[in-house]
Structure 1
């Protein structure tokens, strides 16, 4: 067989395998575009380092399988004895260390199919984002958008750039991604200049308002190197390009994203023919200040999908603070933690979750395998269509995001399940986690969580094997 023909055949088989992913996986459909809402901006322990592999974007127009219809898995439950034996054997692998929690649930009924140390609190790493994004969808709603605005100051020529908590706001040198569509600082500058010129204003004094988020911008549970290493930026309501000096590059992050974005905005206004003050100062916009211009983010459901597929730390932290605002808590790390727990309680998850950040970078977070798998089951339920972006945003084994980097599901015991598992990864020093969903061979939708936080080196191949066992049960 010619090399080209073989490549075409293998590619075709891979695509067909993806298209056979279980019908229990919920995807984003046009339902989410109905009646889109716009959010108005309201007046110790172990050293850990994130090692989440750089995801390879497999698709540019949206998550894989985004147009599949949602159906509940109604096949028979897998045989517990066989599944229990296979999972127990795999959990005995030394690579997992001695502190592991594991759960497999029937997504439809919530029944435990398998459990081992299920209620133990374990450092979840980036699987924390499952909790954060589920809470964001439940609290904010899937159609809410985040607005960055420019308002009139007290003086005729005074304008104020108001941060709306959208870290994906694209700066002047950013290349627009096709999914999710980003709000643009350049567009905001053009709209602002047009509004000012219509008023006959050609000379302005620019200030910026970063007050939507409160508290420390750096979580106490974060390693000091996270920001200089480019893992995350200090959390600010006003930021562009997620606080990166160079869009798309991991290192470094700027120490003051708000001031950095405001300075860039001043240059953009100047390019629009306005004379702008040399000094750009921080201020607080007057209550009820007239709006001159605004740009809006993609809807929350798209932000959630991006957060999960690419394990985006900055966006996860921003969403956590927006949850805090919606739930009447301070927009801080502590307020976000309380707000997330309150939302989970409304969803029926009242124990097994302790979070101090939204991204999972904190080594102080503790989540049980039971709570993690249960949140995924709730998110995949027909009773909660507002949460379906949790499932559609999870990476697909061997194809997308942090499971599509060429390192996952490559072993002989997991490779046959490529395309049949959808799951969120988590990686810190000595921590490996994997939580998601799959359909048993007879059509039953199952959710799972495998969490280990005393890993000697890496347990990723074992976690892949565990998920593969679920998928072929």
Structure 2
């Protein structure tokens, strides 16, 4: 579909849908009569149509360049009310996480938990472990320094004060990948490594303060209750203007430098971790030391550990984990839960195969023939799906997994960007943003109670691809472009509420 149309029905959009409420969807087009100009007339259109700005006019006024694709449908019947470029595959950005949530819920189950364990390979004699101590990750994307601090205290409470053997860390519960998207700059905290042992979303906290002789810099693994210093990552201030950051991996220590001219008076930011197992081991060793437990230099295990579980800490159940993933759009969580789902489904050995496996699943479950995911977070710009297939997936699979209930409420704003309190339109949706890509998909409830399901994709891919590496974090013109796109998204939502929810 290339162009604009209204009021037709997707053939088989909701046939076979899990929700009985959606089983009444008509399967043939209502075949409205064309009108002058090629657009399709709306049969029995509400009076509000005469006053609401046309979708074509709203898109033209946004002046986004590239392409705009959208589809809105009645959530109960599957009747597609309006569409523009609905069949065009476009980058979904973080809207991909809504599909990842459905994928994970189906294959892992809403009650799934990720466990992190301390395993002993020998007996405890007089407070001394006569064997190895293994910190074994279970793929938990939410593991924090506070959790490791509690595990260190539990280890001490179990009567262990020293280890005769080795201190071993294992992250093989999930395949390792050095970065989610290798085309992104090294220093972006939202593009870390992924492993079966992930700590603090595989980020390290870098802080700097101006001092008399230059700058004081520090790196720590802070959480709410514990702020241990990190020894497996170092940073130094360099006398240069560009690049702002450099990174090198020298054996067991990750080395960063930062340009002095970029620091100003002081500040902080999160930097990504590329060796997550050693990072977690480093932090746990410090926290254990605070409990009076002496641990040897950590070693990374290549095979799954065997022994007695001394301490175990499980994550929250999957549904609240996904709720936070969707709310904060966390990339590490999306990759970890998506990879876990692929491994549960079977036949997938690495991250490069996991995104395509989710694509195949979506094609089988929702007929989404345009789906082509390269990851589970949407960070990779090569992922594609059409607005039509996105709406189909939400309409078919969302109700059965109660997806709307874990999506973030989308706040509507006035012309000055201020949140409009008590707005009569309720929107629960997932947003997505890449450079010159802005997306939104989910559900909305009009003032009269009509529920609609929609997807809005905007993207100027050629402009995105032309960004030099040095400007990828903050390319000129991108913030204003995103502002116009988000304004268009809200205008379309308000139009649909006025026209189809009257």
Give the TM-score taking structure 2 as reference length: 0.67
- The answer on 1:470 being equivalent to 2:444 is no
- The answer on 1:223 being equivalent to 2:183 is yes
Q: Match of 1:470, SS?
A: helix
Specify the alignment match of 2:195 in structure 1: 236
Specify the alignment match of 1:27 in structure 2: none
Deviation at 1:331, TM superposition (A): 4.9
CA distance 1:252–1:96, change in 2 (3 Å)? same
How far apart are the structure 2 equivalents of 1:418 and 1:231?
A: 34
Count how many residue pairs are aligned between Structure 1 and Structure 2.
Answer: 371
How far apart are the structure 2 equivalents of 1:265 and 1:359?
A: 28
- The answer on 1:422 being equivalent to 2:448 is no
My pick for the range that moved more, 364-373 or 327-336, is 327-336
C-alpha contact (below 8 Å) 1:333/1:357 kept by paired residues: yes
How far apart are the structure 1 equivalents of 2:432 and 2:487?
A: 13
C-alpha contact (below 8 Å) 1:379/1:391 kept by paired residues: no
Structure 1: segments with no counterpart, 5+ residues: 1-70, 173-183, 399-407
Deviation at 1:85, TM superposition (A): 6.9
CA distance 1:461–1:209, change in 2 (3 Å)? same
Task: Look at both structures and tell me which one has the larger radius of gyration over its CA atoms.
Answer: 2
How far apart are the structure 1 equivalents of 2:382 and 2:44?
A: 34
Deviation at 1:80, TM superposition (A): 7.2
Question: Which of 165, 181, 187 is the aligned partner of 2:139?
Answer: 165
Question: Which of 431, 441, 444 is the aligned partner of 2:450?
Answer: 444
How far apart are the structure 1 equivalents of 2:202 and 2:305?
A: 27
C-alpha contact (below 8 Å) 1:151/1:293 kept by paired residues: yes
Question: Which of 131, 147, 151 is the aligned partner of 1:188?
Answer: 151
How far apart are the structure 1 equivalents of 2:326 and 2:137?
A: 24
How far apart are the structure 2 equivalents of 1:373 and 1:464?
A: 17
Specify the alignment match of 1:275 in structure 2: 294
CA distance 1:275–1:101, change in 2 (3 Å)? same
Question: Which digits, 9 at most, give the CA deviation of each residue in 1:109-148, with x for residues without a partner?
Answer: 3232222211111011111111111111111111101111
C-alpha contact (below 8 Å) 1:409/1:417 kept by paired residues: no
Question: Which digits, 9 at most, give the CA deviation of each residue in 1:386-431, with x for residues without a partner?
Answer: x21x312322232xxxxxxxxx623389958476212211111111
Question: Which of 84, 89, 103 is the aligned partner of 1:116?
Answer: 84
How big is the alpha-carbon RMSD for the aligned residues of Structure 1 and Structure 2? 3.1
Specify the alignment match of 1:290 in structure 2: 308
How far apart are the structure 2 equivalents of 1:122 and 1:307?
A: 22
Specify the alignment match of 1:433 in structure 2: 439
Give the TM-score taking structure 1 as reference length: 0.71
How far apart are the structure 2 equivalents of 1:186 and 1:268?
A: 6
Structure 2: segments with no counterpart, 5+ residues: 1-20, 25-41, 123-128, 206-221, 224-267, 464-480
Deviation at 1:79, TM superposition (A): 7.1
CA distance 1:193–1:343, change in 2 (3 Å)? farther
- The answer on 1:139 being equivalent to 2:75 is no
